[in-house]
């Protein structure tokens, strides 16, 4: 039976009331195909078994400082594609948002009818997130900005704001600056390393900090960056990341995500660290929300939203 993600489903996944969805998000939901089939029975078992086999075979790269060269290569390819296409924004879509694959939804695997299901879902989510939390700040910093894909939407939504793209890869910084040069965006690229934060770099007053699928690469070594943010005191911090602590180990689909997350050494312990800082009255937690949506391997869109006190 064909199912469809409808407005109440999006609101549920975002953790909001349907009335909080902006008109442009409602239009995007209406204009895209969010039909899907739930994968069950032997097909589901075969899918999960294949994931476990890939994990056990060590087919996936490990997150951490040793991955710098891999990201230089990946974002270098994005930069070349962007330049050779004559500054075509579609060339900046991260390659880890894969089309034609099953996705995870409400602790099940589903097969989308549209190859761009995850990308289109993410575009709705991102637009809602940015409009909701970033309208009142004066500047925006995306740390781990990668291909610059999110900066494009930020620049189009907030043309008067200064938008910083921070990354530890020079090729990523080059993309950010080429966006400013080719599109007239107020984007500025700067090198920044999560593992060794530049303590001299100052965040402007009344600014927002966002990370999207970036802090996952730090494993358990995010504390220096967390301390840097607490000292810098941005108006709001938004971390959209896979969060292993929020899966249910008794659910097989979730357990596959846990195995994948730990095998790749993605970030761990952050909710506990943030809650400890809250108890010490160093931060205020504004929202913590599991996404219940993601790619074949992980839910990459869980929300940790907070601010230093």
pTM for this entry: 0.96
Whether the per-residue pLDDT at 99 is higher than 90: the answer is: no
pLDDT tier at 67, thresholds 50, 70, 90: confident
The answer to whether 106 and 132 have CB atoms below 8 angstroms apart is no
Domain count, the chain: 1
In the chain, pLDDT over 90 holds for what percent of residues?
A: 95
How far is it, in rounded angstroms, from Cα 18 to Cα 6?
10
Whether the per-residue pLDDT at 98 is higher than 90: the answer is: no
Interval 34-42 mean pLDDT? 97
How far is it, in rounded angstroms, from Cα 303 to Cα 241?
7
Whether the per-residue pLDDT at 95 is higher than 90: the answer is: no
Count of all residues that appear for the chain in the document: 309
Of 32-46, 85-99, 166-180, the range with the lowest mean pLDDT is 85-99
274-294 CB burial, b ≥16 within 10 A, e <16:
beebeeeeebeeeebbbbbbb
pLDDT at residue number 234: 98
Whether the per-residue pLDDT at 96 is higher than 90: the answer is: no
pLDDT at residue number 192: 97
pLDDT at residue number 100: 82
pLDDT at residue number 153: 97
How far is it, in rounded angstroms, from Cα 152 to Cα 31?
21
Interval 256-274 mean pLDDT? 97
- What is the rounded average pLDDT for all residues in the chain? 96
SS3 304: strand
Whether the per-residue pLDDT at 29 is higher than 90: the answer is: yes
Of 93-102, 164-173, 207-216, the range with the lowest mean pLDDT is 93-102
Q: Residue 43 sits in a domain of what CATH number? A: 3.40.50.150
- Domain range spanning residue 129? 3-308
Whether the per-residue pLDDT at 131 is higher than 90: the answer is: yes
């Amino acid at each position: 039976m064909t199912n469809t993600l409808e407005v109440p489903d999006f609101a549920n996944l975002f953790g909001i009331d349907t009335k909080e969805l902006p008109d442009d998000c409602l239009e995007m939901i209406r204009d895209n195909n969010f039909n899907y089939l739930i994968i069950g029975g032997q097909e589901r078992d075969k899918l999960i078994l294949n994931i476990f086999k890939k994990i056990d075979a060590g087919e996936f790269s490990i997150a951490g400082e040793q991955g710098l060269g891999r990201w230089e290569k990946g974002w270098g390819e994005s930069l070349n594609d962007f330049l050779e296409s004559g500054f075509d924004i579609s060339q900046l879509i991260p390659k880890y948002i894969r089309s034609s694959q099953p996705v995870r939804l409400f602790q099940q695997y589903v097969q989308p009818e549209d190859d761009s299901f995850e990308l289109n879902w993410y575009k709705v989510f991102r637009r809602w997130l940015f409009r909701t939390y970033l309208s009142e700040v004066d500047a925006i910093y995306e740390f781990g900005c990668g291909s610059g894909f999110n900066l494009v939407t930020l620049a189009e939504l907030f043309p008067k704001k200064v938008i910083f793209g921070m990354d530890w890869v020079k090729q990523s910084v080059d993309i950010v600056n080429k966006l400013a040069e080719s599109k007239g965006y107020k984007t500025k690229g700067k090198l920044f390393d999560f593992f060794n934060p530049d303590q001299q770099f100052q965040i402007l007053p009344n600014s927002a900090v966002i990370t999207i699928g970036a802090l996952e690469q730090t494993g358990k070594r995010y504390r220096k960056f967390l301390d840097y943010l607490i000292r810098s005191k941005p108006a709001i911090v938004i971390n959209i990341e896979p969060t292993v602590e929020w899966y249910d180990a008794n659910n097989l689909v979730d357990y596959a995500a846990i195995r994948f997350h730990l095998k790749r050494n993605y970030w761990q312990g952050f909710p506990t660290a943030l809650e400890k800082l809250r108890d010490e009255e160093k931060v205020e937690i504004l929202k913590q929300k599991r996404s219940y949506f993601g790619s074949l391997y992980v839910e990459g869109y869980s929300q940790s939203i907070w601010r230093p006190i």
